[in-house]
Structure 1
Amino acid sequence: MTTILIVEDDDAIRNNIARLLKLEGYEIATAINGREGLERVRQLHPDLVISDISMPEMDGFALLEAVRADALIANTCVMLLTALDDRASMRRGMTAGADDYLAKPFTRVELLEALEGLLKKRGRIADSIQYAVQVREDHLRQAFTESLGGNRVPDKFGLEAPEGAITDQVIEATVLFSDIRNFTSLAEKLESSEVAELLTQYFERTAEPVLTNGGRHLKFIGDGLMAVFADTAGGSPIPAARRAVSAALAMALATHEFRSWLDQRFGERGLPPFAIGVGLHSGEVTICRLGTIQNKETTPIGDTVNTAARLEAASKELGWTVVASNATLTRAGDGVQTSGMTSLAVRGRHGYVDVAEIVGLVTNLEDKQHGMATLTERAAEIRAAVQVNSEITARAVKGALKSKLTSLMDAQFQPGEAPLRLKGYRLSRKIGSGGMTEVYLAIREDDGLPVVLKVLDAAGKATSEHLSRFIQEYTLLSRIVDPHVIRIYDQGFTDDHAYIAMEYFERGDLRSELNAGMNQKRVLAVISQVAMALDAIHERGIIHRDLKPENIMLRPDGSVALADFGVAKSMLAAENMALTQTRHGDVVGTPYYLSPEQVAGHAITPATDMYSLGVMMYEMLAGERPFRADSLDLLLARHLSAPTPMLPLEHEGLQPVVEKLMAKNPADRYPTARSLLDDLAQRPLLRTVAGPAA
């Protein structure tokens, strides 16, 4: 129902209008003066305000100006009523942002016609806003989709003047651009609501130093932020470029502190490291105006804006957080601390731009006196913009990721690749091959579930030995129902092929996360979950024999699952006689993670998997493998005799755990995976970081 607020100090007029509009089906609220009317507007957010001009405490003009100055209610429709039927009053009201003007006395028909016209206009505005939001979201989605394909989209902010924009002013200023690096990699591991939450928390932290240092014309587009710092009359005496440098460094600090929130909120999800890039450039900036007087939007454009965006884009390749042009450094004054310096070819400009990495700022007395802080009254407006942008971005990036996945699943086979036809499955593309098997991404036709099909060419070169091993893998896996072991859905045979249908992991394996760096809390969560998987398979008489990061798969919720049992071995005597294909002396597994007994060709036991888990744990904590060598023979020799290296100091409390896992003698290792879990649970400092039991 449409809500109308009537602000009128004359009781008779106020009550008559209220009765008239109630009869027409409107929800009515009233106020006796402008001050009370402003409070009701903020409280009720009415669809329309009908206000008298001549009132005590706060007149209609002051009420209108207050409404337009408040970002949360600035778009409220306002109709002014007055007995002053003259052009001056009308012009003042419309200039202040009134949507319509009705002179008293007026008839019922005049009021209702004016009201109907305003509400129709409001509906059109709402439709145009929704259309603009949709266009913006579609643009973002396209940008994210192109970036997923490896293409950088530097004009994500839309740096050209919008159609219909009017040049408002041309100023000398410093432009700041920032962006989150590898944002799509972050987003693909979170739900849409979580992406929005992350962006909101991040922008609220980083927008504050921009505002306090005098940044204006803030724009939030996707995972990026743009702001303009200008030298204005009566403003801060600190140069705009210096305030922009201060804001950029404060953003870097806020981002560092934001990582603590991120770790607490999503520590178990295996997110890639969170980092930003910032670009700064100074020069002439054109401020364009788009929209009506009461709903004006300003957009900075020009070569300075473009260059700042290109510098931010180059920050990742340079490995710098804050990249500033020489023009900005010159204007910023003394005390700006720099590290590397270089020249960049910037697209759209002739010649090169000299740039430097900014790493600090030594403040002077004037800086401290003025606190490099100016107006912050737009904080509420910024928060509202952040929230809207976060929701739009979340939808756009998740939509792009979904489209990318769909395109992969609908991909055609390469020329010459005759697609297999397996009943009940639609194969979309080959994703790997090895030995006598090929691996495909497929869709289960009865429910649309993405699966991985491991297929053996049973009628081709495969021998009975290959087929026996293939059947063994399914036999071993089909016994296991554990949340940290890959799910097996089906096994089947055709005239020419045998296949296993298993769980598809969109996020891939642990290697990418390990290479990006893992904190201790995440390492212990992963180790604990892998230990649970080992406990489950060892209890059923199965040894994995090829434990490595590439065989630890990531689920969307951040949990992990043990996969690839192609060389797994059953400890059951009867099956060993029938199915064991590996003789003593054969090396099975990946050399970096082999146990000493595998190297020496001795008996394989569950302790073999524990050694490989220890190698993985060391690598996750130290960021490198414990043993490396120039030749395979030397690497295997180190597994046999070299002592376990020391972990970095911050992880020294886990040294005994790693050494026990990697003991050369299997009898000196943890006897079972469960005993490892029990040991971790007994360590007070580790109890809260080992992760859930399932």
Structure 2
Amino acid sequence: MTMILIVEDDDAIRNNVIRLLKLEGYEIDSAINGRLGLERARAVRPDVVISDVSMPEMNGFELLEAIRADLDLASTSVMLLTALDDRASMRRGMTAGADDYLAKPFTRVELLEALQGLLKKKVRIEDSIQHAVTAREEHLRRAFTESLGGSALPDKFGLEAPDGAIADTVMNATVLFSDIRNFTSLAEKLNSSEVAELLTEYFERSCEPVLKNGGRHLKFIGDGLMAVFADTMSGGSPLSASRRAVSAALGMVLATHEFRTWLDMRFAQRGLPPFAIGVGLHAGEVTICRLGTLNNKETTPIGDTVNVAARLEGASKELGWTVVASTAALDKAGEGVQTGGMTSLSVRGKNVFVDVAEIIGLVTDIEDMRHGMATLTERANEVRDAVQINSEITARAVKGALQSKLSAFKDHEFKAGDAPLRLKGYCLSRKIGSGGMTEVYLAARETDDLPVVLKVLDASGKGVSEHLARFIQEYALLSLIEHPHVVRIYDQGFTDDHAYIAMEYFEDGDLRAEITAGMSQKRVLGIIAQVAQALDAIHTRGIIHRDLKPENIMRRPDGSVALADFGIAKSMLQPRNMGLTQTRHGDVVGTPYYLSPEQAAGQPITPQSDLYSLGVMMFEMLAGQRPFNADSLDVLLARHLSAPTPELPPAHAALQPVVERLMAKKPADRYDSPQSLLADLERRALI
């Protein structure tokens, strides 16, 4: 019997719908709000959820997002109920993954027609997928059976018997998990036999590189594929499992690229969405279990490594990448693996993060060529193009969804009692600042309620590409750094003219208030030491901050501080990649009160430029006022260029040599590094 879950806080509407559907023979469960609805959904696993949009505790949109995020419920059909004229909520719900909308008030006929349409759609897609998967599995069983019997197959796979399929075997391996993007959208435009034909052709092409590189224990999960590459193979390739998995993943991307040509020819003029795949790779311990009945047992890989590989594949869509590999897999893959971006991803259900990289190519060597990987070298440009095209297809879809989400933030009014805005696992509570094209929101990370700041940039106007580039650069630079005295970055997202960064929240604000209130010498030296350590961390990575000032030194409740705001920072190591954010010779960048003489003169900067700004800050913290003030910018810059460093108050006279060396007019006369400053302070027994 079909199970329908009704989630509605209006007793009259809920009871009427329940009564109506029970009369039609449906099995019904219900809940009075989204939170209880999610609990019931997990308990009864309904075929369809019919949910109101506006409800207490958890509204319909939040319930929809939770269902789509739950692997056990993700495919559940969801119909949302809303007011007749609420078109904005309709768009929001459909973007979030609703299968249908029904406007209130609705008639019995309208409800039943909408429900029957959902169920027909669900059955058609499930039948299409099952038909294709069954055909695919039968093909593989026949191939393995004939191969085991010694028959030579006229099949391009070159299939061979799987090794290592022993009951309850635990092995170190690399798991490959792949999936087709937007498969539901594809299936909706094709009939069952066409879906089966599409999947069969795709799996024939994509399985070849997997099997050729030693992939075993293949599992077909709907439109997805999982394979295990063992670190030891009896009579198999001596190449590392991770290297073979990388080769297989890139081979799948190349096969997919070629498959698109077949798809365009076979289904011309059918308006199919762009075909793309995502692949996740993770290395670790894998358990191979035999599951099933006594007479029909099937080997199945299980464990955290499998789950993480699936998580990485899912994240490939969010990131706009094609192949996502954990550093655990990357480290074992050997030399020649070409990577693009790098980031960290949270693992669902666990408070842990996995460092990952985008794989864009593999330079093979003689040993690789001996074991069937030569095509990746011979076709390196094709592989790179295939990865790029696949990633662009994914990125366009991701950017479109993110663009719509971020655009809605700008005009949102935070009112008491309203459902909070959500973005990729963050719940926004209020706007805490704005300036120019940037809006700043206070949010909480939903996995652990950690307070975070969401900086959202709207660069959709004309002539603002540089602002977007600098915003992206801030994340790019900070993602390179993990240091206790540098602001922490948790997440990011970019579209063509919108961007956001999720970063550490500082409830106590910046250093300005503390300077105004007056600071002890001990406190000043403690902060100088922490900022110097932060500067050492960024300088070591080739980054110059260029805008060091009290407003960019953020305070934590434990008294520690962190360096923030890298919006105009400059990378010394990546001038080509950062070309849009480089200043021209003669430009003045930074806050005038803290500018080094070379910045004031528009001359090239060095890490010592940050040390000068640190000296200005140190003087201000000790003296309670800035070393240089003026009524005009020209006079202020001139004083940075030529005026001597003022005297500190007598109580801090012992620190005068330190401040003067930090604020020396010539960079060569300053400390040669933040470590030299720290060493000098230690030598003077000041820290």
After TM superposition, the score normalised by the length of structure 1 is 0.38
Higher Rg of the two aligned structures: 1
The alignment's TM-score, normalised by the length of structure 2, stands at 0.38
